[in-house]
Amino acid sequence: MVKYIGSKRVLVPRIVDLVGSLRGVATVLDAFSGTARVSHALKSHGLHVIANDHNTYAYVLARCYVQANRDRVLSDARRLLAELNSLPGAPGWFTETYCVRSRYFMPHNGARIEAIRNAIAAKDLDPDLEAVLLVSLMEAADRVDSTTGVQMAYLKHWAPRARQNLELRLPQVLPGNGLALQCEAIDAVRAHDVDLVYLDPPYNQHSYRGNYHIWETLVRWDQPEVYGVACKRLDCRSYHSPYNSKRQIHAALSDVVREARCRYLLVSFNNEGYVRPEDLERMLAARGLVQTIEVDFRRYVGAQIGIFNPQGERVGKVSHLRNKEHLYLVSCEGTEPPAELVVEKRGQLALF
Question: What is the rounded distance in angstroms from the CA atom of residue 167 to the CA atom of residue 112?
Answer: 9
251 contact partners, CB below 8 Å, separation of at least 6: 242
| Whole-number pLDDT of residue 109 | 98
| Whole-number pLDDT of residue 207 | 83
pLDDT in single tens digits along all 352 residues of the chain:
787 676 677 889 999 999 999 999 999 999 999 999 999 999 999 999 999 999 999 999 999 999 999 999 999 999 999 999 999 999 999 999 999 999 999 999 999 999 999 999 999 999 999 999 999 999 999 999 999 899 999 999 999 999 999 999 999 999 999 999 999 999 999 999 999 999 999 877 778 888 999 999 999 999 999 999 999 999 999 888 899 899 999 999 999 999 999 999 999 988 788 899 999 999 999 999 999 988 766 644 444 445 555 555 655 555 444 557 889 999 996 656 654 554 333 333 333 3
Residue 148 CB: number of other CB atoms within 10 A? 19
Are the CB atoms for 39 and 59 separated by under 8 Å? no
Q: Where are the domains of the chain?
A: 1-67+176-202+245-352, 70-173+209-240
The CATH superfamily of 1-67+176-202+245-352 is Vaccinia Virus protein VP39 (3.40.50.150)
State the greatest distance between any 2 C-alpha atoms of the chain, in Å, as a whole number: 64
Are the CB atoms for 124 and 142 separated by under 8 Å? no
Per residue, the 3-state secondary structure of 171-185, as one string, reads CCCCCCCCEEECCCH
Cα–Cα nearest to 325, from 1, 72, 8: 8
Give me the sheet containing 322-332, strands edge to edge.
179-181, 48-52, 27-30, 196-199, 264-270, 322-332, 288-298, 348-351, 342-345
- Tell me the pairing of strands 322-332 and 264-270: antiparallel
Q: Is the pTM of this model over 0.85?
A: yes
Question: What is the rounded distance in angstroms from the CA atom of residue 284 to the CA atom of residue 258?
Answer: 8
Question: What is the rounded distance in angstroms from the CA atom of residue 219 to the CA atom of residue 106?
Answer: 20
| Whole-number pLDDT of residue 202 | 87
